[in-house]
């Protein structure tokens, strides 16, 4: 891991995130925007549910990396969703290394003056697991992305491009 979070440091980051959300709720309630406050609460619940699922995925390196990614300064904001979580035989170190390499590649190929967002959708089943990487922002070069993915395929990765444009990239990775 690039960061070795101690317990106190991890709690500090988590508390900071919660305080931001609580301030959003309080601010909206103070302004009489009850519906918006309820919406923020619903979003917080969904995030907590996904964090709980990810924590139980039995891929500790990958889970820690995803959960702490936004705690460091990056050009891409990361979010995630766990669709299904079944027993699996996935290799944690391999998935962690691949995801980290992919994000490092993407970070080197995005414009830094725009909001770049990557959603990772995890669909983990006993037979086959699918990871969907859905990027919105601005890529510097779509041909570099195509070349990188071709290289991944030649290294044996089961990876498909669903959509590739300057402002959108959707990639499916199958892990068995």
Query: Which fold, 1-55?
Result: Helix Hairpins (1.10.287)
Q: What is the mean pLDDT of each run of 10 residues along the chain (176 residues)?
A: 68 85 93 95 91 91 94 95 91 95 97 96 92 98 97 94 97 91
Which residues sit opposite 118 in a β-bridge? Answer: 78, 135
- CATH fold match for the domains 1-55 and 59-175: no
pTM: 0.86
Mind listing the pLDDT tens digit for each residue in 110-134? 999 999 999 999 999 988 899 999 9
Q: By the 8 A CB rule, do 176 and 159 touch?
A: no
Could you give the 3-state DSSP secondary structure of residue 131?
A: strand
Query: Which fold, 59-175?
Result: Heat Shock Protein 90 (3.30.565)
Q: By the 8 A CB rule, do 39 and 21 touch?
A: no
Q: Where are the domains of the chain?
A: 1-55, 59-175
């Amino acid at each position: 891991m690039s960061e070795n979070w101690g317990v106190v440091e991890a709690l500090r980051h988590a508390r900071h995130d919660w305080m931001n959300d609580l301030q959003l709720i309080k601010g909206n309630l103070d302004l009489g925007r009850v519906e918006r406050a309820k919406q923020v609460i619903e979003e917080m619940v969904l995030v907590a549910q996904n964090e709980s699922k990810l924590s139980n995925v039995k891929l500790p390196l990958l889970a820690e990396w995803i959960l702490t990614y936004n705690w460091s300064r990056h050009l891409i904001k990361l979010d995630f969703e766990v669709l299904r979580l079944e027993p699996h035989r996935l290799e944690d170190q391999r998935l962690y290394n691949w995801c980290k390499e992919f994000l490092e590649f993407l970070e080197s190929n995005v414009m830094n003056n725009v909001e770049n967002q990557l959603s990772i959708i995890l669909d983990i089943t006993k037979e086959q697991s699918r990871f969907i990487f859905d990027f919105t922002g601005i890529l510097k070069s779509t041909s570099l992305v195509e070349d990188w993915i071709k290289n991944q395929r030649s290294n044996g990765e089961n990876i498909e491009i669903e959509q590739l444009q300057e402002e959108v990239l959707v990639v499916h990775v199958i892990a068995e």
